[in-house]
Structure 1
Amino acid sequence: MVIVDSRDQALSLLTAANNHADLAVKLSSLKQAKDILSSLDSSFAADLFPYLADLQRSPYSLVRKFLIEIIEDIALKAIDHCSILVPVLVAFLRDADSDVVRQSIACGRNFFCNVLEEMVLQFQQHGKVDRWLEELWTWMVRFKEGVFSIALEPGPVGTKLLALKFLETYVLLFTADNVDSEKFVEVTRGSGWTFNVSWLSGGHPILDPVALTTDANRTLFVLLDMLQSANSLPGCVTITVVYCIIVNTSHCLVFEKIWKCGV
């Protein structure tokens, strides 16, 4: 009965957040709803996810930003129910407010690592991958492509820096030569788990290690190509690109190209 009452209360608060005209009421309702959703069992909280997803259309950037906070707080606890929430992060990559975009990238980076972890562990433990997890991975691929575009297109410097850090993570995850376990612990910080693409060499129904490694290498060389135009990039962007490259490889060709670019 208590659970039902809490669920009904959260529903009422989310309805107010969606429909009330006053921004202060919207934010207050969301804060209360977040506390309730965090305390509910994932299966009960999941029933309310469609009402959360509706908030992505709010004209108020503060509401959209707070929605990302809620997703970050509850999605990983209910990962098998959050296929309706992850598309929100993808949509927010094109938000008109750069703060919303940056917050979406930061949240999506953590979620990307956790979905990858779940993909590998589920197959190792059960010999299959559930359909809901396949769907999540499809959205993660779309998220990666969206962040990739942000890194290459003109836009706010702060947003570009976060996009580049995501690409650094992506290359770290799927470059076979990266065997420094400390790097992987940093990438998946909070999960207590490390990833190496070589773990997929035995086969996986969804994750193709050859394709992922090839894409990671392509991404690395895209970063290298960015250095060709380093003179036209803000200094902090150039520094971030160089750092991303250095932490991902020690290949002599990389440093040769960096030197030729005059960075």
Structure 2
Amino acid sequence: MNVVDSRDQALSLLTAALNHSDLAVKLSSLKQARDILSSLDSSSAADLFPYVADLQRSPHTLVRKFLLEIIEDIALRTIEHSAVLVPVLVAFLRDVDSDVVKQSIVTGTHFFCSVLEEMTLQFQQYGKVDQWVQELWMWMVRFKEGVFSIALQPGPVGIKLLALKFLETYILLFTPDNGYHEKFEATRGSRRTFNISWLGGTHPILDPVSLTSDANKTLFVLLDMLQPVSCLPGAVTINIVNW
């Protein structure tokens, strides 16, 4: 099957996933569409991303949750084309179903780290950061603010724990490790653990002082949450202390 035929078949499957009345058909179509998207080159797959994003309108929880899994599976491998999909992560933080919210936090955490690594890689190699990466980062900042709000507001414990886990990740990303001296040599898709010691030079986004300061503020917010201990569920209190 050539690229055009594959794209047409994927589009037909995505349409069925959104519009078919039978949930089993929707999910089967999504799985087939994901497989085809995985087989396409990044540019051809990206042409279908707007149709993938349309699935966020589905009234079915399983479809919306599967959409997030597709975003993590496909978009992270074609991150330069993912601008149309990243807003879904932010929107789904307000979803009515807790499973969708939780999956959005998990997928968004992976995206956050990948976008940060891509920005750092570009700045270290070329002394500048492409506009498309900066735009993705602006969405990641919105994602962080959305998760921060979830962590502070009353809500289901399972969602709150994942939100706090993301904030832990955020704090660790931007907390200097005095014993860490490895030179930054990451490559795209390596999923290595970012360390703020990799940052050097001057960039309005990749400013170590500003990022570290915000991480410190976030840490103090978590510590403040421990003050009225009786107001927090036991699992939340335990996890904050452990982190």
Q: For residue 85 of structure 2, what is the amino acid of its counterpart?
A: L
Q: CA deviation at 1:204?
A: 2.4
Is residue 166 from structure 1 mapped to residue 166 from structure 2 by the alignment? yes
Q: 2: CA distance between counterparts of 1:132 and 1:179?
A: 33
In structure 2, the partner of 1:28 is 28
Structure 2 length as normaliser, TM-score?
A: 0.93
- CA shift for structure 1 position 199: 2.6
SS of the equivalent of 2:142 reads: helix
Cα RMSD (Å):
1.5
Counterpart in the other structure of 1:235: 234
The SS at the match of 2:197 is helix
TM-score normalised to structure 1 length: 0.86
Q: Structure 1 CA distance, aligned partners of 2:124 and 2:202? A: 10
Query: What CA deviation, in whole Å up to 9, does each residue of 1:90-111 have, x standing for no partner?
Result: 1000000000000000011111
Q: Corresponding residue for 2:207?
A: 208
The worse-fitting range, judged by mean Cα deviation, of 114-123 and 20-29 is 20-29
How far, CA to CA, are the matches of 1:16 and 1:52 in structure 2? 12
Q: How does 1:42-53 map to 2 (within 5 A)?
A: 42-53=42-53
* Alignment partner, residue 75 of structure 1: 75
Please report how far the alpha carbon of residue 209 of structure 1 lies from its aligned counterpart in structure 2 after TM superposition.
1.6
In structure 2, C-alpha distance between the alignment counterparts of 1:87 and 1:61, rounded to whole Å: 18
Residues 124 and 180 (structure 1), Cα distance of their counterparts in 2 relative to 1, 3 Å cut: closer
Identity %: 78
Distance 1:178 1:57 in 2: 47
Question: Quick check: 1:129–1:205 contact (8 Å CA) kept in 2?
Answer: no
Task: Give CA-to-partner distance per residue, 1:30-68, whole Å, 9 cap, x none.
Answer: 111011101111100000000010110111111100100
Q: Which moved more, 1:229-238 or 1:84-93?
A: 229-238
The change in CA–CA distance for 1:39 and 1:178 in structure 2 (over 3 A counts) is: farther
C-alpha distance in 1, partners of 2:226/2:232?
A: 9
Aligned residues: 236
- Equivalent position amino acid for 1:127 in 2: G
Question: What secondary structure is seen at the aligned counterpart in 1 of 2:228?
Answer: helix
| Structure 2: unaligned runs, 5 residues or longer | 182-188
Question: Is the Cα contact below 8 Å between 2:92 and 2:101 reproduced in 1?
Answer: yes
1:40 correspondence with 2:40: yes
Residue 235 of structure 1, CA deviation: 1.1
Change (3 A) 1:178 1:11: farther
Counterpart Cα distance in 1 of 2:14 and 2:222:
42
Deviations 1:195-222 (A, max 9, x none): 2223324222422222111110000000
Counterpart residue identity of residue 55, structure 1: L
* Conserved 8 A contact 1:173-1:196: yes
Q: CA deviation at 1:18?
A: 1.6
SS in 1 for 2:96: coil
Matched to 2:229, the amino acid is: A
Instruction: Deviation per CA, 1:69-121: give whole Å up to 9, x if none.
Output: 10010011110000000100110000000000000000111110111000000
Q: Structure 1 residues 223, 70: closer, same or farther in 2, change over 3 A?
A: same
Contact 2:180 2:197 in 1 (8 A): no
Shift in Å, 1:193: 2.6
